[in-house]
Structure 1
Amino acid sequence: MKKYSNEIADESSSHQKRRRQMLFCSLLPLSFFTTLVNGKPDIPVETPVELYPMGSSSPSNLALVLPRPLADARQLSANITDYLMSEKLDGVRAYWDGQQLYFRSGRVINAPSWFTEKFPSHPMDGELWMGRAQFERLSGAVRRQQAQDKEWRQIQYCLFEYPLAAGDFRLRLQKLHNIVEVLQVPWLRVIPHESLKSVEQVEARLKQLMLQKAEGVVLHLASAEFEAGRSEFVYKLKPQHDAEAKVISIHSGKGKFEGMMGALELETPEGKRFKLGTGFADEQRRNPPQIGSFVTYRYRDLTSSGLPKFASFVRVHQPE
């Protein structure tokens, strides 16, 4: 276990070299800010880099940091104090490239102009969020072709990363706090992070969040420099696993579910098939997901044959 933990935290010289090649050359002081004619604050930041080809209408490769799933916080017990912990919001990932908001897939998010008009001209990464247990309502609002102001007035943009910025994660968070403080945009905030002293602190916080219908926690190595892609320094920890599978058939209900859907037959990307019959509201049973669509489900563990244990429906899966 100690060897595993040390390997997680070890930053080899080759990784350091690759990260430095991605970083900006320097950070100008955030001590003086002015406002341009168009209302965007002129916040001195690192020299921008080209995220996508000239003339492209949307990014082909956003600078996203993707966390790895963690089964147990004790896997990091040898150096848990090196990490910062935050709540994992059940929101929609949104990347601001300095001009436009994008889904994780690179598709444009049709946010109202007033929502982003004071955002800075450098990248920011975070979650669009309406609150705990509000994902379905949020998802419908942010995916409309025509944004509705009434819905967007209830949405916050919660930041957790300053893409491509110099410095370790702790410093990048401080930069985000400085920027948000200057901008004074009511719906723009930084997700709170706390320093860790023990694995028990993580477990207690996770238990507390579960009672509040939160999704889980994220653990980020405080000393990690920015590196896009699936990260070896960022972990997501949830009490249950989740995954996506394709609907291949719909089984009719019996008893109290007579005349409605009783269960979905799903197929995983690995070709495993199983029935999913719990977690559905009556309205979802009356109008079940279509055959060929994908759904997200939660489960505790896998059987020896690779099938999910205690699987429960979460939502119809959106590609972004």
Structure 2
Amino acid sequence: MTQTDATAGRVMLATAWTQGADPAGYWVSEKLDGVRALWDGQLLRFRSGRPMAAPPWFTASLPPNALDGELWLGRGTFDRLSATVRRDTPVEAQWREVKYQLFDLPGDGGTFSERLLKMKAVLALRPAPFVQALTQFRVANASALEQKLWQIVQSGGEGLMLHHGDALWQAGRSESLHKLKVAEDEDARVVGHVPGKGKLSGRLGALLVELPQGQRFALGSGLTDTHRQKPPEVGAWVTYRYRGRTPSGLPRFASFLRERQPE
């Protein structure tokens, strides 16, 4: 498998963590609200596989190994980061603030614990201050995991990621990689606009969205006045937060978070 084969749009994806499950055997890290970035040894790419216009000095500092991680500016800075990394022509001063937080070596044959050790060795051969291995740690039990989650969230973080130490790398959804958040988030495609009523008359009332499995629901909570005046177009993908599901599988307490930018 070549470096490009390992990273061009092929990523390992997380499933939701089961509340109260035993975290023994798992490495835990903060879930960063950044932009997923894959390095194939030649190009830096978005999760979709589309090349990213990064400055030459940024990519020149990266090792020949395939890398998976998040471009990050810090907690609560997603919109500014997204604007920076999605420009066709990179702005030097903006990229100087960006950190590449690494969490895996895609396509490598070792276990996750072995890949973590190899990642640190790879970075030591070509150190750069903006390329870092994301901090991974262990927790003693489910109670300690919950405590760590609330600590991260109260500090402005998104949640936690859990990756089993014995897991081999695989493309697609994995039962060895999990995300844990106070509120989950998912994407849905906009299929229509629901007119507003009452004080929202003449503006958008809700987005009619469709889940990947085909179910539809109206998403109105979380929309700002700007969204109601100029809503995401039909066909756009949006991200929403929710807490649990109905018996039919629809999200409960769904709230609009942001429009997902094309990659």
TM-score > 0.5, shorter chain as reference: yes
Q: SS of 1:208's equivalent?
A: helix
| Alignment match of 2:90 (pick from 127, 147, 157) | 147
Q: In 1, Cα distance between the equivalents of 2:57 and 2:134?
A: 22
CA positional deviation for 1:153 = 1.6
| Alignment match of 2:11 (pick from 57, 61, 64) | 64
Q: Which runs of 5+ in 2 are unaligned?
A: none
Once the two structures are superposed, the pairs formed by residues 71-150 of structure 1 within 5 Å of their partners are 71-72=18-19, 74-75=20-21, 77=22, 80-150=23-93
1:119-167 deviation digits (Å, cap 9, x = unpaired): 1112111011121222222222212211111221221110001223343
Q: Say if 2:175 is the partner of 1:228.
A: no
Q: Say if 2:185 is the partner of 1:242.
A: yes
Residues 121 and 301 of structure 1: CA distance in aligned 2, closer, same or farther (over 3 Å): same
Q: Say if 2:161 is the partner of 1:218.
A: yes
Contact (CA 8 Å) 2:62, 2:126: kept in 1 or not?
yes
Contact (CA 8 Å) 1:51, 1:63: kept in 2 or not?
no
1:187-229 deviation digits (Å, cap 9, x = unpaired): 1111101112111111011111222232211111112233333
Contact (CA 8 Å) 1:63, 1:164: kept in 2 or not?
no
Q: In 2, Cα distance between the equivalents of 1:187 and 1:303?
A: 43
Residues 208 and 106 of structure 1: CA distance in aligned 2, closer, same or farther (over 3 Å): same
CA positional deviation for 1:314 = 0.9
Residues 148 and 256 of structure 1: CA distance in aligned 2, closer, same or farther (over 3 Å): farther
CA positional deviation for 1:84 = 0.9
Return the letter of the residue paired with 1:312. S
Cα RMSD (Å): 2.3
Q: Say if 2:156 is the partner of 1:209.
A: no
Task: Find the counterpart in structure 2 of residue 21 from structure 1.
Answer: none
In the alignment of these two chains, the number of paired residues is: 263
CA positional deviation for 1:81 = 2.0
Q: SS of 2:209's equivalent?
A: strand
Contact (CA 8 Å) 2:185, 2:240: kept in 1 or not?
yes
Task: Find the counterpart in structure 1 of residue 238 from structure 2.
Answer: 295
Residues 71 and 287 of structure 1: CA distance in aligned 2, closer, same or farther (over 3 Å): farther
What is the TM-score when the length of structure 1 is the normalising length?
A: 0.75
Query: What percentage of aligned pairs have identical amino acids?
Result: 43
Contact (CA 8 Å) 1:105, 1:319: kept in 2 or not?
no
Once the two structures are superposed, the pairs formed by residues 34-49 of structure 1 within 5 Å of their partners are 49=1
Contact (CA 8 Å) 1:91, 1:129: kept in 2 or not?
yes
